[in-house]
Amino acid sequence: MTDIMQIVKDRDPQENEFHQAVHEVTESIKPVMDANPEYRQQKILQRLVEPERVIIFRVPWMDDQGEVHVNRGFRVEMNSAIGPYKGGLRFHPSVNLSIMKFLAFEQVFKNALTTLPMGGGKGGSDFDPKGKSDTEVMRFCQGFMSELYRHIGPDTDVPAGDIGVGAREIGYLFGMYKKLTNEFTGVLTGKSLNWGGSLIRPEATGYGSVYFAAEMLQTRSQTLEGKTCLVSGSGNVAQYTTEKLIELGAKVVTLSDSSGSIFDDEGIDARKLEWIKQLKNVRRGRIQEYTDQYASAVYTPFDPNLDHNPLWDHNADCAFPSATQNEINATDAQNLINNGVYVVCEGANMPTTPKGVDVFLQNNLLYGPGKAANAGGVSVSGLEMSQNSMRLTWTRKEVDERLQIIMRRIHSTCLEASEQYGVGGNYVHGANIAGFVKVVESMLDQGLV
């Protein structure tokens, strides 16, 4: 198995996030590889780690002052064995090929777990939407789509949102795609309701993550009611995670953004959450402002010199990392455990470092890895694609029920796969094994392509 890591590292030595994502999967699937000699003979791992196609392109755009900027656009089309490439677009200054490839790789297995016919892809740009006017964001999105449109399509590759790409950006991207192709199709998901979006898609990742946590708790005959929860981030996933937790009677005491975190001992209730949605989605302000509004809260700026994140250092039962990758290191993981946390449910993609994951697994936590726990978002994207194809819309209740069924099935699939391979209760191995087997069997069915 070290062979494959050597190959990946030799070929792309600088892609640390991609190495991290590949390493985790290859560790989990060792027993599957041993049980299936054909997988080795068919060089299935070498095929899985090499994207089917990578598109990198220049995006020149002009700001409101007339100054020209040049960003880099990406789309990694990782694997289409079980359906068209599917996965979000991330606009964030940290975006590079390593981050795109790690996200696309994770997406392949996540999408396989959803039970829906979607391959895996990811894209984005190092463009930073923060501080940009709506017209600047529109011009950037139009420039980005003026190249991407020729590579995507409703049966080829269907992007959606991720960090920095929400309803506003999807609107501008869709408008440009439609103008260039003269076609109104379901080429993007996360669309607004008026023009082909699905109810519950905005909520789906956060709600799905909470449904997954509830399933994990049920294995110990417990519910979320009365549980104290730490949530990180304050964007799409964090907001709807918080909303569903409040609805189920849990108490959320933290949120954050890239500048710092707030701790509200009295809990973030529905009214406070509405205020946060206005702050983040409409005014696009900073989470620090929460403490001006609510005296019960304390703000802690992020300190790059600290070896841990204070957000994870509060007494609680559950943690929902919902901001970004590698936001929980081994010290944070240990702090969580010392503070009584026994449920960790990853709304974000790969929010825990490998050493942090080891701490969770050694301590027998209910630990739901991102590719299972946050699959609700792409699941409802899949349902949006179905509705677009049928040219009809399902009710809120219908979509939410389907989401709950999907999350329940993902949970049981992970548990069953972990039990089958002698690592019962280990959702990391369970998710990786179940997603892997489905994709690999599909690849083998389709020959060497």
Among 26, 28, 198, 205, binds ligand NDP (CB under 6 A): 205
Confirm or reject binding of residue 347 to ligand NDP (CB under 6 A). Answer: yes
The answer to whether residue 381 forms part of the interface with ligand 2IT (CB under 6 A) is yes
Q: Count H helices, E strands: the chain?
A: 18, 12
Spatial separation of the C-alpha atoms in residues 36 and 128, rounded to whole Å: 45
In angstroms, how far is CA 114 from the centroid of its own chain? 13
| Residue 327 φ then ψ, to 5° | -95, -5
- Residue 257 touches which member of ligand 2IT, ligand NDP, none, C-beta under 5-8 Å by kind: ligand NDP
Position closest to ligand NDP via CB: 235
Cβ distance 382 to 118 under 8 Å?
yes
Catalytic positions are 122
CB of 326 to ligand NDP, least distance (A): 9
According to DSSP, the residues that pair with 56 across neighbouring strands are 74
Q: Are 107 and 120 in contact (CB under 8 A)?
A: yes
Out of ligand 2IT, ligand NDP, none, which partner does residue 415 contact, by CB within 5 to 8 A per kind?
none
- HSE-up of residue 246 (Cα within 13 Å, Cβ side): 19
Q: Is 203 in the site for ligand NDP (CB under 6 A)?
A: no
Site for ligand NDP in 288-327 (CB under 6 A): 322-324
Q: Cβ of residue 281: shortest distance to ligand NDP, in angstroms?
A: 9
Q: How far is the CB of 78 from ligand 2IT (least distance, A)?
A: 12
Cβ–Cβ under 8 Å, residues 49 and 34? no
SS3 assignment, position 220: coil
What is the CB-side half-sphere exposure of residue 179 using CA atoms within 13 A? 12
What one-letter code names the amino acid at 159? P
Which of the stretches 15-23, 83-91, 215-223, 423-431 binds ligand 2IT when contact is defined by CB under 6 A? 83-91
Neighbours of 206 (CB within 10 A): 28
Dihedral pair phi/psi, residue 262, rounded to 5°: -115, 145
Residue 410: half-sphere exposure toward Cβ, Cα within 13 Å: 37
User: Counting contacts by CB under 6 A, is residue 86 touching ligand 2IT?
Assistant: yes
Is 123 one of the binding residues for ligand 2IT (CB under 6 A)?
no
Query: With CB cut-offs between 5 and 8 Å by kind, which of ligand NDP, ligand 2IT, none does residue 237 bind?
Result: ligand NDP
Here the tokens at position 166 are 């929400």
Sketch the per residue contact string, 223 through 262, with ligand 2IT: x for CB under 6 A, - otherwise.
----------------------------------------
Choose one: 34-42, 85-93, 334-342, 428-436; the region binding ligand 2IT (CB under 6 A): 85-93
C-beta of 207: minimal distance to ligand NDP in Å?
A: 11
Nearer to ligand NDP, 131 or 422 (CB): 131
Of 160 and 439, nearer to ligand 2IT (C-beta) is 160
Q: CB count, 10 Å around CB of 153?
A: 16
Sketch the per residue contact string, 179 through 198, with ligand 2IT: x for CB under 6 A, - otherwise: ----------x---------
Among 15, 162, 257, 264, binds ligand 2IT (CB under 6 A): 162
Residues numbered 136 to 165 that lie near ligand NDP (CB under 6 A) are 161-164
Does residue 160 touch ligand 2IT according to CB under 6 A?
A: yes
**Residue 68: what are its φ and ψ, rounded to 5°?**
-90, 140
3-state secondary structure of 194: helix
Q: How far apart are CA 314 and CA 300, in angstroms?
A: 13
Residue 226: CB atoms within 10 A of its CB come to: 11
Judge whether 349 and 18 are in contact, CB under 8 Å. no
Exactly one of 216, 378, 431, 433 binds ligand 2IT (CB under 6 A); that residue is 378
Contact 288, 312 (CB under 8 A): no
17 binds ligand 2IT (CB under 6 A): no
Binding site for ligand NDP (CB under 6 A): 161-164, 166, 205, 233-238, 257-259, 322-324, 347-349, 374, 377
Q: Which residues of this chain interact with ligand 2IT, rule CB under 6 A?
A: 86-88, 107, 110, 160, 162, 189, 349, 377-378, 381
